[in-house]
Amino acid sequence: MSRSASDPPAVAAEGVVPIATRPVAGRPLRLSELSLGCAQLGNLYRAITDEQAHATIETAWAQDIRYFDTAPHYGLGLSERRLGSALAGRPRSEYVLSTKVGRLLEPMTAAGGRDDGGFDVPATHRRVWDFSRDGILRSLEESLRRLGLDAVDIVYLHDPDEHRREVLDTAYPALEELRGQGVVSAIGAGMNQTAMLADFARHTDMDVLMLAGRYTLLEQSALEDLLPICQQRGIGIVAAGVFNSGLLARRTPPDNAMYNYDDAPEALVLRARHMAEICERHGTSLPAAALAFPLAHPAVVSVCVGARSPEQIERNVELYRSGVPASVWGELREQGLLRPDAPVPVG
């Protein structure tokens, strides 16, 4: 388990090491190293009850998680509503919350059926891409209403892959304006690719970037462009998708594992199994290594992991606290399974 030099570990009651926090450079924010991604609380792939969603967030809080990420896209606003309801009454200064902009939710004139965006919710709205200034302001206003909050801490541009010019011309200036006015503390973008995020890191003044799936045990392409420029400029990285859609989530990857939101290629399954065997030989597990690895990079401020139940929260926290023997990283490098220039956890 890697820790920030500016945030030494402290021993909590009953001898449990609490989840550490890391600062977002130049901003009054500290993110818990383990954070909760709330897509599953918007009924990603399958439905859960309001009670289960609430219990999941309650357990995250009890386990010391203090950074929560959501988006209007997640369940057509359901994730935001559930998160806001579960955090109501919590001291606002004790947690960090981020949401995203870029997709407006427009009411359907003839609502019916189920959502076709991967979430098991009624199709009451449709998603409309909008990175205009008015679209950004409206999206944030509607998110605040669903969350029941006066402000969020971080706002990300959500998946702007096909909208680079509009982002630079209108969306980013709108976020910069909101930050300058103190409406939000930090701004950034969240994507599944490194190239455009690296472009943003070079040419804008974003504070934190959410990178999904591109800096994991299976893929370290972010070392080639994004992570060096972020480290140089003091831009924080929130590493999401560290289990690569499930391929790294089990002790032994199954034949039908998912990777990058699709069926995993056989070669990647075999590679992940080889990693899993090494982890087991050294007394740890593939999921524990997958969660610990990104935190070793100095640009990474948090690892964001989803959960749909209290049990999954407890498992993720146990993985975070378990630590990974240094010998694991040595053998992964020896076997050519990990880039030699990738930082690894120490201690």
So which residues are the catalytic ones?
74
Enumerate residues 6+ apart whose C-beta is below 8 A from 100. 70, 71, 72, 73, 155, 156, 157, 158, 190
* Tokens (6 digits) for 271: 């590679």
Number of neighbouring beta carbons within 10 Å of residue 4: 17
Task: Please state, in angstroms and as integers, the Cα–Cα distance from residue 8 to each residue in 20, 238, 242, following that order.
Answer: 8, 20, 24
Cα–Cα dist 344/347, whole Å: 10
68, 60 Cβ separation under 8 angstroms? yes
Owner of token pair 């309001």: 50
Q: What is the dihedral of CA 223, 213, 240, 204, to 10 degrees?
A: 50
Owner of token pair 């040595």: 330
53, 42 Cβ separation under 8 angstroms? no
